[in-house]
Protein backbone atom coordinates (compact mmCIF):
# COMPACT_ATOMS: atom_id res chain seq x y z
CA UNK A 1 0.00 0.00 0.00
CA UNK A 2 1.56 3.34 -1.05
CA UNK A 3 1.82 6.41 1.18
CA UNK A 4 -0.83 8.27 -0.86
CA UNK A 5 -3.34 5.52 -0.18
CA UNK A 6 -2.38 5.29 3.52
CA UNK A 7 -2.70 9.06 3.95
CA UNK A 8 -6.09 9.05 2.21
CA UNK A 9 -7.23 6.21 4.46
CA UNK A 10 -6.16 8.06 7.63
CA UNK A 11 -7.89 11.21 6.44
CA UNK A 12 -11.12 9.29 5.75
CA UNK A 13 -11.01 7.70 9.22
CA UNK A 14 -10.51 11.14 10.82
CA UNK A 15 -13.33 12.74 8.79
CA UNK A 16 -15.65 9.87 9.66
CA UNK A 17 -14.79 10.15 13.36
CA UNK A 18 -15.63 13.86 13.30
CA UNK A 19 -19.08 12.95 11.91
CA UNK A 20 -19.60 10.14 14.44
CA UNK A 21 -19.25 7.50 11.71
CA UNK A 22 -17.11 4.36 11.50
CA UNK A 23 -16.98 2.76 8.05
CA UNK A 24 -13.25 2.62 7.34
CA UNK A 25 -11.36 2.00 10.62
CA UNK A 26 -9.72 -1.45 10.57
CA UNK A 27 -11.89 -4.28 11.81
CA UNK A 28 -10.88 -6.90 14.35
CA UNK A 29 -9.91 -10.37 13.21
CA UNK A 30 -12.80 -12.89 13.02
CA UNK A 31 -11.69 -14.71 16.21
CA UNK A 32 -11.70 -11.39 18.15
CA UNK A 33 -15.29 -10.90 16.98
CA UNK A 34 -16.19 -14.40 18.19
CA UNK A 35 -16.37 -15.79 14.63
CA UNK A 36 -14.88 -19.01 13.25
CA UNK A 37 -11.73 -18.21 11.20
CA UNK A 38 -12.31 -21.32 9.05
CA UNK A 39 -15.65 -19.95 7.84
CA UNK A 40 -15.17 -16.16 7.84
CA UNK A 41 -12.54 -14.12 6.03
CA UNK A 42 -11.03 -11.03 7.66
CA UNK A 43 -13.66 -8.27 7.58
CA UNK A 44 -12.44 -5.31 5.56
CA UNK A 45 -14.29 -2.48 3.82
CA UNK A 46 -14.74 -2.05 0.06
CA UNK A 47 -16.27 0.59 -2.16
CA UNK A 48 -14.85 3.67 -3.82
CA UNK A 49 -14.20 4.43 -7.50
CA UNK A 50 -13.79 0.80 -8.64
CA UNK A 51 -17.17 -0.29 -7.26
CA UNK A 52 -18.84 2.91 -8.48
CA UNK A 53 -17.58 2.19 -12.02
CA UNK A 54 -19.17 -1.29 -11.91
CA UNK A 55 -22.47 0.05 -10.57
CA UNK A 56 -22.65 2.80 -13.19
CA UNK A 57 -22.35 0.14 -15.90
CA UNK A 58 -25.28 -2.03 -14.73
CA UNK A 59 -28.24 0.24 -15.55
CA UNK A 60 -29.76 0.06 -12.05
CA UNK A 61 -33.50 0.89 -11.96
CA UNK A 62 -35.79 1.98 -9.09
CA UNK A 63 -37.40 -1.51 -9.18
CA UNK A 64 -34.05 -3.11 -8.24
CA UNK A 65 -33.17 -3.96 -4.66
CA UNK A 66 -29.69 -4.90 -3.52
CA UNK A 67 -28.40 -6.98 -0.61
CA UNK A 68 -24.79 -6.80 0.61
CA UNK A 69 -24.08 -10.33 1.86
CA UNK A 70 -21.58 -9.82 4.68
CA UNK A 71 -21.94 -6.05 4.93
CA UNK A 72 -19.62 -5.49 7.96
CA UNK A 73 -19.92 -1.80 8.92
CA UNK A 74 -21.64 -0.84 5.64
CA UNK A 75 -18.77 0.66 3.66
CA UNK A 76 -19.84 -0.72 0.25
CA UNK A 77 -23.49 0.07 1.04
CA UNK A 78 -22.64 3.78 1.02
CA UNK A 79 -21.78 3.45 -2.69
CA UNK A 80 -24.84 1.28 -3.36
CA UNK A 81 -26.96 4.07 -1.86
CA UNK A 82 -25.77 6.49 -4.55
CA UNK A 83 -27.92 4.58 -7.06
CA UNK A 84 -31.69 4.49 -7.41
CA UNK A 85 -32.16 1.08 -5.73
CA UNK A 86 -35.51 0.69 -3.98
CA UNK A 87 -33.77 -1.00 -1.01
CA UNK A 88 -30.12 -1.23 0.01
CA UNK A 89 -29.93 -3.82 2.78
CA UNK A 90 -27.15 -5.81 4.40
CA UNK A 91 -26.75 -9.07 6.29
CA UNK A 92 -23.93 -9.53 8.74
CA UNK A 93 -22.93 -12.44 10.99
CA UNK A 94 -21.13 -10.38 13.64
CA UNK A 95 -23.52 -8.61 16.07
CA UNK A 96 -20.78 -6.04 16.83
CA UNK A 97 -20.30 -5.09 13.17
CA UNK A 98 -24.06 -5.12 12.47
CA UNK A 99 -24.57 -2.70 15.38
CA UNK A 100 -21.92 -0.33 13.97
CA UNK A 101 -23.54 -0.49 10.50
CA UNK A 102 -26.96 0.32 11.97
CA UNK A 103 -25.48 3.24 13.89
CA UNK A 104 -23.74 4.58 10.76
CA UNK A 105 -26.91 4.59 8.65
CA UNK A 106 -29.08 5.94 11.46
CA UNK A 107 -26.62 8.81 11.77
CA UNK A 108 -26.83 9.38 7.99
CA UNK A 109 -30.66 9.24 8.26
CA UNK A 110 -30.84 6.59 5.53
CA UNK A 111 -34.41 5.29 5.34
CA UNK A 112 -33.72 2.83 2.50
CA UNK A 113 -31.45 0.63 4.67
CA UNK A 114 -32.00 -2.39 6.94
CA UNK A 115 -29.22 -4.44 8.52
CA UNK A 116 -30.04 -8.05 9.44
CA UNK A 117 -27.74 -9.83 11.85
CA UNK A 118 -27.93 -13.40 10.55
CA UNK A 119 -25.81 -16.18 9.04
CA UNK A 120 -26.16 -15.87 5.26
CA UNK A 121 -26.74 -19.64 5.07
CA UNK A 122 -29.97 -19.24 7.07
CA UNK A 123 -31.34 -15.94 5.74
CA UNK A 124 -34.91 -16.37 4.49
CA UNK A 125 -35.37 -12.98 2.81
CA UNK A 126 -33.33 -13.42 -0.42
CA UNK A 127 -36.53 -13.28 -2.47
CA UNK A 128 -36.82 -9.54 -1.78
CA UNK A 129 -33.65 -8.73 -3.76
CA UNK A 130 -32.51 -9.17 -7.36
CA UNK A 131 -28.98 -7.72 -7.05
CA UNK A 132 -26.40 -9.06 -4.60
CA UNK A 133 -22.98 -7.78 -3.57
CA UNK A 134 -20.23 -9.90 -2.04
CA UNK A 135 -16.77 -8.76 -1.04
CA UNK A 136 -15.24 -12.19 -0.57
CA UNK A 137 -16.94 -12.65 2.81
CA UNK A 138 -16.41 -16.39 3.29
CA UNK A 139 -14.71 -19.41 1.71
CA UNK A 140 -16.31 -21.57 -1.02
CA UNK A 141 -17.50 -24.12 1.56
CA UNK A 142 -19.88 -21.45 2.93
CA UNK A 143 -20.63 -19.83 -0.42
CA UNK A 144 -22.17 -23.04 -1.83
CA UNK A 145 -25.04 -23.30 0.73
CA UNK A 146 -25.55 -19.52 0.61
CA UNK A 147 -26.06 -19.68 -3.17
CA UNK A 148 -28.40 -22.62 -2.75
CA UNK A 149 -30.51 -20.69 -0.24
CA UNK A 150 -30.46 -17.59 -2.44
CA UNK A 151 -31.52 -19.28 -5.69
CA UNK A 152 -34.12 -21.52 -4.02
CA UNK A 153 -36.00 -18.41 -2.84
CA UNK A 154 -36.44 -17.09 -6.41
CA UNK A 155 -38.54 -17.95 -9.42
CA UNK A 156 -36.26 -19.34 -12.16
CA UNK A 157 -37.43 -16.61 -14.56
CA UNK A 158 -36.16 -13.77 -12.36
CA UNK A 159 -32.75 -12.50 -13.38
CA UNK A 160 -30.36 -12.32 -10.42
CA UNK A 161 -27.19 -10.25 -10.71
CA UNK A 162 -24.31 -10.98 -8.37
CA UNK A 163 -21.48 -8.44 -8.08
CA UNK A 164 -18.65 -10.52 -6.65
CA UNK A 165 -15.56 -8.60 -5.55
CA UNK A 166 -12.49 -10.87 -5.27
CA UNK A 167 -14.43 -13.90 -6.57
CA UNK A 168 -12.61 -16.75 -4.85
CA UNK A 169 -15.77 -18.84 -5.19
CA UNK A 170 -15.97 -18.58 -9.00
CA UNK A 171 -16.30 -22.38 -9.35
CA UNK A 172 -19.24 -22.40 -6.88
CA UNK A 173 -20.93 -19.62 -8.88
CA UNK A 174 -20.72 -21.73 -12.04
CA UNK A 175 -21.91 -24.86 -10.19
CA UNK A 176 -24.99 -22.96 -9.02
CA UNK A 177 -25.90 -21.94 -12.60
CA UNK A 178 -24.38 -18.44 -12.76
CA UNK A 179 -22.33 -17.13 -15.69
CA UNK A 180 -19.61 -14.48 -15.43
CA UNK A 181 -20.88 -11.65 -17.66
CA UNK A 182 -18.36 -8.88 -17.05
CA UNK A 183 -15.09 -8.30 -15.26
CA UNK A 184 -13.77 -5.01 -13.91
CA UNK A 185 -10.45 -3.98 -12.37
CA UNK A 186 -10.13 -2.89 -8.78
CA UNK A 187 -7.50 -1.24 -6.61
CA UNK A 188 -6.08 -4.49 -5.19
CA UNK A 189 -5.84 -6.38 -8.46
CA UNK A 190 -8.17 -9.25 -7.56
CA UNK A 191 -10.98 -8.08 -9.87
CA UNK A 192 -14.73 -7.59 -9.57
CA UNK A 193 -16.93 -9.96 -11.58
CA UNK A 194 -20.64 -9.61 -12.38
CA UNK A 195 -22.64 -12.85 -12.73
CA UNK A 196 -26.13 -13.58 -14.04
CA UNK A 197 -28.30 -16.69 -13.70
CA UNK A 198 -29.90 -15.87 -17.09
CA UNK A 199 -26.99 -15.17 -19.45
CA UNK A 200 -29.03 -15.78 -22.62
CA UNK A 201 -31.73 -13.26 -21.69
CA UNK A 202 -29.74 -10.90 -19.52
CA UNK A 203 -30.56 -7.23 -19.12
CA UNK A 204 -26.79 -6.73 -19.53
CA UNK A 205 -26.81 -8.16 -23.06
CA UNK A 206 -24.52 -11.06 -24.03
CA UNK A 207 -21.58 -11.99 -21.77
CA UNK A 208 -18.51 -9.87 -22.43
CA UNK A 209 -16.28 -12.59 -21.02
CA UNK A 210 -15.38 -15.60 -23.09
CA UNK A 211 -15.67 -18.98 -21.28
CA UNK A 212 -12.47 -19.47 -19.27
CA UNK A 213 -11.66 -15.76 -19.39
CA UNK A 214 -12.30 -14.97 -15.76
CA UNK A 215 -10.53 -14.21 -12.53
CA UNK A 216 -10.87 -16.43 -9.49
CA UNK A 217 -9.84 -13.69 -7.08
CA UNK A 218 -6.79 -13.59 -4.85
CA UNK A 219 -5.80 -15.51 -1.80
CA UNK A 220 -7.84 -14.49 1.27
CA UNK A 221 -4.68 -13.32 3.03
CA UNK A 222 -4.68 -10.41 0.62
CA UNK A 223 -5.02 -7.29 2.81
CA UNK A 224 -8.26 -6.43 1.06
CA UNK A 225 -9.83 -9.83 1.56
C1 LIG B 1 -14.78 -8.51 3.65
S2 LIG B 1 -16.11 -8.02 4.72
C3 LIG B 1 -17.01 -7.11 3.53
C4 LIG B 1 -17.65 -5.84 4.05
C5 LIG B 1 -18.59 -5.12 3.13
N6 LIG B 1 -19.34 -6.01 2.25
C7 LIG B 1 -17.85 -4.13 2.26
O8 LIG B 1 -17.54 -4.52 1.13
O9 LIG B 1 -17.58 -3.03 2.69
C10 LIG B 1 -17.05 -9.54 4.84
C11 LIG B 1 -18.07 -9.62 5.98
O12 LIG B 1 -18.84 -10.81 5.83
C13 LIG B 1 -19.24 -11.25 7.11
N14 LIG B 1 -19.61 -12.67 7.04
C15 LIG B 1 -18.78 -13.73 6.95
N16 LIG B 1 -19.48 -14.89 6.95
C17 LIG B 1 -20.80 -14.54 7.02
C18 LIG B 1 -22.01 -15.30 7.04
N19 LIG B 1 -22.01 -16.64 7.00
N20 LIG B 1 -23.18 -14.61 7.11
C21 LIG B 1 -23.21 -13.25 7.16
N22 LIG B 1 -22.07 -12.49 7.14
C23 LIG B 1 -20.88 -13.12 7.07
C24 LIG B 1 -17.99 -11.02 7.96
O25 LIG B 1 -18.31 -10.96 9.35
C26 LIG B 1 -17.47 -9.68 7.38
O27 LIG B 1 -17.92 -8.59 8.14
- Ligand 1 contact, 224 CB (< 6 A): no
Average pLDDT over residues 123-132: 98
The pLDDT value given to residue 1: 63
d(CA 9, CA 65): 29
Cβ atoms within 10 A of the Cβ of 113, count? 22
- Ligand 1 contact, 46 CB (< 6 A): yes
Q: H or E element: which one contains 22?
A: none
Residue nearest to atom 27 of ligand 1 (CA): 72
The pLDDT value given to residue 224: 41
pTM: 0.94
Q: Domain span at residue 99? A: 3-201
More confident residue, 12 or 146: 146
In a domain, 210, yes or no: no
Closest ligand 1 atom number to CA of residue 30: 25
In a domain, 222, yes or no: no
The pLDDT value given to residue 124: 98
The pLDDT value given to residue 222: 43
Report the percentage of the chain scoring pLDDT > 90: 74
In a domain, 217, yes or no: no
Please report, for the domain that includes residue 27, its CATH number: 3.40.50.150
- Ligand 1 contact, 93 CB (< 6 A): yes
The pLDDT value given to residue 58: 97
Across the chain, the runs of DSSP E, i.e. the strands, are: 65-69, 87-92, 115-117, 131-135, 161-165, 179-184, 192-196
Average pLDDT over residues 67-75: 97
In a domain, 128, yes or no: yes
- Main-chain phi, psi angles of 78, to 5 degrees: -60, -40
**pLDDT above 50 (res 27):** yes
The pLDDT value given to residue 4: 83
Instruction: For residue 92, report the distance from its CA to the centre of ligand 1, in Å.
Output: 6
Lowest mean pLDDT among 38-52, 63-77, 125-139: 38-52
- Gyration radius (Cα) of the chain, Å: 17
Question: Which of the listed ranges 10-14, 145-149, 220-224 does the model predict with the highest average pLDDT?
Answer: 145-149
The pLDDT value given to residue 32: 87
d(CA 192, CA 80): 15
In a domain, 219, yes or no: no
Residue nearest to atom 9 of ligand 1 (CA): 45
**pLDDT above 80 (res 96):** yes
Instruction: For residue 55, report the distance from its CA to the centre of ligand 1, in Å.
Output: 20
Average pLDDT over residues 157-183: 96
More confident residue, 5 or 177: 177
The pLDDT value given to residue 188: 84
In a domain, 132, yes or no: yes
In a domain, 215, yes or no: no
How many domains is the chain built from? 1
Residues in CB range of 217: below 8 A, 6 or more apart = 136, 166, 167, 168, 169, 170, 190, 191, 225
Residues in CB range of 46: below 8 A, 6 or more apart = 75, 76, 135, 165, 224
In a domain, 224, yes or no: no
Amino acid sequence: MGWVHTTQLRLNILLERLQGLDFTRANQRPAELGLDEREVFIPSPSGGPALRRVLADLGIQPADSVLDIGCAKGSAMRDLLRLSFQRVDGIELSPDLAAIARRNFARLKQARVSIHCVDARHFDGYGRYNVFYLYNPFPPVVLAPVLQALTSQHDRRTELLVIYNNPLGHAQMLAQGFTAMRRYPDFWGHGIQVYSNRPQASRLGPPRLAPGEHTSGSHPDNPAA
